[in-house]
Chain A
C-alpha cells in the first residue's frame, strides 16, 4: 500500500515538472526533442535557417538559460558565444557537450590556418560539423540521454527507451544513405558547396566536398582559392554545385559560370529548415541532403 502510494507520488512529481532544456542550434534541438519526449521542454537558440557561426545571443536567451536545467551545445568550437552566455546567465545546471566521444576531423584548408599554420603547426583547427556523420549523431543522442538522466533520474527509463529507439532509426538511416550513394560511381562523387561544412559526411560516406570558403561563414574567400577551385572544376568536370540556405548565393553563381557547373539545389548544413520545409528534422535533413546530392552527382 505504501509502495503503491510512493510510486503514484513519484510519477505525479515527474509528470508536472518537465525538464527545461536549452539547445544551442536546431539540429541538437531536434535530437533533444526526440530523446526528451514529453518530459522535456526544448528551447532552441539558433533556429531554422539560422547561422550558428555568427549568432549573437539576445536577452531572452539569457533568461531561457537561467531557467533551464540542461544546456546542450555542439562543442568543437562551433558556438563561440555559448560560454559567455552560460556565464552571464548564472547557469547552475548541467552543460552537455553533445560531441563528447566522437572522433574529430581537422580542417583540410582554411584561410586562418594557412596564415597561422606556420606559427602553430601543432594545433590545427577542428571541424565542428560532426553531426553530418550519422555515427556521430548516435553518439550525440546517447550523450543527450545521459545528460537528461542525470538531471531527471526519475524518468531515466523513459529517456533510455527513447534513445535506443532513435539509435535504431539512425542506424537504419545510415544504411539507407550508403545504399543510395552506392548508385553513384566513384569518379562522379565530387561536389562544390558554399562553406566547408560537409567534411564529416564526405569522410563517412565517400564523397569529396570542395568549397571556396573555409569552415566558418565569417571568413572571406581569396582569389587564389576561388581560382584553384575553378581550375579543379574544369579539369575534373565537376558540375554539381550546391547552395546553402544561410549564405549569399552570388559567389556560387560566379563559380558556376566560370567552372561550367550547374547549381543543383540547396543543402542543409548547419541548421534545419522551417517546420514546413524539406529538412524539418535531423532525419529528414539527411534524407533530403542525400537525395539532392545523389541527383547532383549523377550529373557530373
Chain B
C-alpha cells in the first residue's frame, strides 16, 4: 500500500481505534491550543507537568474509596488538581508570592502527601500507571469527555476572552478597572485543570502536556497576536497528531512519543526558521534599510 491514499488515509479507514485516536487528538489540539498559548504568555509553562504529579493524593483517596475504579480515581484526581490550582492562585493573589513559586510549593506538598497515602494504605499497584490512559485506548466515554471539555473551554474562552488576555499582560490594570481579575484567574485555572486531568485520564500525561505546550511554544515564532497564536497552536497540534499517528502506524513506534516528537520537530523548525524571533531572522537575515 504505497499509494498516497494508502499511506495517509487507509489506516484510518481500516481501524476504528485509529479513527478514535485521531478525533481525540483533534479535540485535544483544539481545546489545548488556546490554553497552552495563555500558559506560555503567563509564564506558566511547567504547570502541566507539575499537575500530573499533584493529582496523586486525590487518585490515592479515590482508590481507597472505590478500588481500581477509573471514575473514583479520576474524580479524586480532578478534585486534587482543582484544590492545588485554586490554592496556589489564591496565595499568588493575596500575597507577594509569584505564580510559579506558589504552584511549585503546593504541587510538591500534594505529591508528597500522595506518596504518603499510597505507601501506607495503598497496594503495590502503580495507581497513576493504571489511571492515565494512552491515545490508542480511547473509548467512547473518554472521547466524549475530551470533546465535551474542549467545547466547554472554547465557549468559556469566547465569553471571557478579553479579561483573560489582559490578565496575562497587565493584571493590575484589570483590577483597577474593576474587572475582578481574581475571578477570571480562577476561571482560567479551573479550565486548565479540567483540560489537564481529563486529558491525563484519556490520553496520558505526555500527550496532553506535550500537545498543550509544544505547539504554543512553536507558534510564538510565527504569530504576533493572541488570536493568531491560538490558531497556529491548534494547527500545529492537529498536524502533529495526524503525522505522529501515521508514523506510529507505519514504523511501529509508540504512539504518544511519536506525536510529541513530531510536535518537537515543528518546534525546532519554528525556532530555526520562523517568521519572528527565530534564528533565521535574528542571525541570518540581512538587514534591509527600509524607507
- Seen from chain A, the residues whose Cβ lies within 8 Å of a Cβ on chain B are 46-47, 49-51, 54-55, 58, 111, 114, 217-227, 230, 246-248, 250-251, 253-255, 257-258
Contact indicator A223/B137 (Cβ below 8 Å): no
Contact indicator A221/B255 (Cβ below 8 Å): yes
With an 8 Å Cβ cutoff, the count of chain B residues facing the other chain is: 35
Q: What B residues does A219 contact at CB under 8 A?
A: 254
Interface of B is mostly: helix
Q: What B residues does A248 contact at CB under 8 A?
A: 129-131, 133-134, 137
Q: Give the contacting residue for A51; candidates B16, B119, B126; CB below 8 A.
A: B126
Contact indicator B15/A54 (Cβ below 8 Å): no
Contact indicator B125/A251 (Cβ below 8 Å): no
Contact indicator B17/A258 (Cβ below 8 Å): yes
Q: What B residues does A250 contact at CB under 8 A?
A: 133-134, 137-139, 142
Contact indicator B125/A224 (Cβ below 8 Å): no
Q: Tell me, in angstroms, the Cα distance from A13 to B221 when the chains sit together.
A: 78
Q: Does B162 contact A (CB under 8 A)?
A: no
Contact indicator A224/B248 (Cβ below 8 Å): yes
Contact indicator B249/A221 (Cβ below 8 Å): no
Q: Give the contacting residue for B11; candidates A225, A227, A246, A253; CB below 8 A.
A: A227
Q: Encode B244-258 as 1/0 by CB contact (under 8 A) with A.
A: 010011111111111
Q: Give the contacting residue for A46; candidates B124, B134, B252; CB below 8 A.
A: B124
A-B contact count (CB 8 A): 97
Q: Tell me, in angstroms, the Cα distance from A173 to B248 when the chains sit together.
A: 43
Q: Tell me, in angstroms, the Cα distance from A97 to B267 when the chains sit together.
A: 48
Interface positions of B from 1 to 28, Cβ below 8 Å from A: 11, 14-18, 20-21
Q: Rank and list the top 8 A-B pairs by shortest CB-CB distance, nearest first.
A: A224-B252, A50-B124, A251-B137, A223-B248, A250-B137, A220-B254, A223-B249, A254-B17
Q: Encode B113-133 as 1/0 by CB contact (under 8 A) with A.
A: 000000100011110011101
Q: Tell me, in angstroms, the Cα distance from A84 to B54 when the chains sit together.
A: 28
